[in-house]
Amino acid sequence: MTNELDKLAQLQEMEQEAARVTDQLAELPRQVKAREDALAATRRQIEKNIEQTAQEAAKRRALESDIADQRNKQQRYRAQLDSVQSDSQAKALEHQIAFCAQEIDRLEDTELGSLMRTETLEAERRHLDEVAANQQAALEATLSEGQEAEQRHRNRLAELAGEREVLRSTVDEVLLSEYTRVTASRKFAVARVENHQCSACQMVVRPQKWNEIRAGAVHKCESCGRFLFYDPAIDVAAAMNHPIDEKKPARGARATSAASSGETTSGD
């Protein structure tokens, strides 16, 4: 039965690889969507930046018009000073001239604030344009690479599907049916036995069953119900990684040796 278990283990590896490739295939559209969303968000920021910059420009035009109006008023009030007939009229005109000067200062300060905001917006726009250009390049690269990867993944899935069908046709029908049932409920049906344990659930395998599995018998884990598969390479690797220490003489052996040494000394 060892050959049948080998086939089931190979079949499981094929199906797991197919699942991984399928996940990778499904990930490609998600990567493209993520890059498209990021680029769209940056473009929305650019549109908002353009709108805010236009608003600031319109605000400055209105401010410049208001400043021009105040200066014109100042000139008219100053011209009227030459023809005033009383001190009260002169004071009234001077008050209006001072008020125009205050308004001009206020409007110019507001205009300066607008200019500073515009400079900030322009710096932000340059940054956003650079970000958008990088995102566009990344999107195009993802699309190009994604097309190649998609074709590669689909080719691999087709290969695995063909190999899987060929292998399934060579497996004992009863075992294959049970393998399919366990896979449906447990996600995978074959578990290696490592260090006298089921690698899937860590259930300890009884010594007799362990020896039978190593001999090629078909057994299932008493805990999770998966087929238990023995891979000699695992034992070899474990032995290489954990070399056996040289055995030390037993305590009894050391005591016997010491006693013999004492007896010899006494005899002499």
Taking the chain, what is the end-to-end CA distance rounded to the nearest angstrom? 67
Q: Is residue 90 domain-shared with residue 40, that is, in the same domain?
A: yes
Which one of 142, 168, 194 terminates a domain? 168
Q: Is residue 72 domain-shared with residue 139, that is, in the same domain?
A: yes
Q: Is residue 189 domain-shared with residue 154, that is, in the same domain?
A: no
Q: In the 8-state DSSP scheme, what is residue 86?
A: S
Q: Is residue 153 domain-shared with residue 231, that is, in the same domain?
A: no
For residue 8, the Cα-to-chain-centroid distance in whole angstroms is 33
Is residue 31, in this structure, part of any structural domain at all? yes
CATH for 87 = 1.10.287
Question: What's residue 233's pLDDT?
Answer: 76
Is residue 124, in this structure, part of any structural domain at all? yes
Is residue 247, in this structure, part of any structural domain at all? no
Is residue 268, in this structure, part of any structural domain at all? no
Question: What's residue 268's pLDDT?
Answer: 38
Question: What's residue 85's pLDDT?
Answer: 85
Question: What's residue 235's pLDDT?
Answer: 61
Burial class (CB in 10 A: 0-12, 13-18, 19+), 188: middle
Q: Are 125 and 49 in contact (CB under 8 A)?
A: yes
Q: Which helix (H) or strand (E) holds 194?
A: strand 190-194
Distance, in Å, from the CA atom of 186 to the CA atom of 183, rounded to the nearest integer, reads 5
**Structure token digits, residue 34:** 């993520």
198 has which bridge partners?
A: 193
For residue 98, the enclosing domain spans: 2-7+14-168
Q: Which long-range contacts (CB under 8 A, 24 or more apart) does 79-86 make?
A: none
For residue 235, the Cα-to-chain-centroid distance in whole angstroms is 36
Burial class (CB in 10 A: 0-12, 13-18, 19+), 265: exposed
Is residue 80, in this structure, part of any structural domain at all? yes
Q: Is residue 127 domain-shared with residue 18, that is, in the same domain?
A: yes
List of the chain residues with pLDDT < 50: 1, 238-239, 242-268
Q: Which residues, including other chains, have CB under 8 Å from residue 59's CB and lie 6 or more apart? A: 114
Note the pTM of the prediction, 2 decimals.
0.64
Q: Is residue 84 domain-shared with residue 179, that is, in the same domain?
A: no
> How many degrees, rounded to 5, is the angle at CA 221 between CA 218 and CA 223?
160
Question: What's residue 107's pLDDT?
Answer: 97
Question: What's residue 164's pLDDT?
Answer: 94
Is residue 264, in this structure, part of any structural domain at all? no
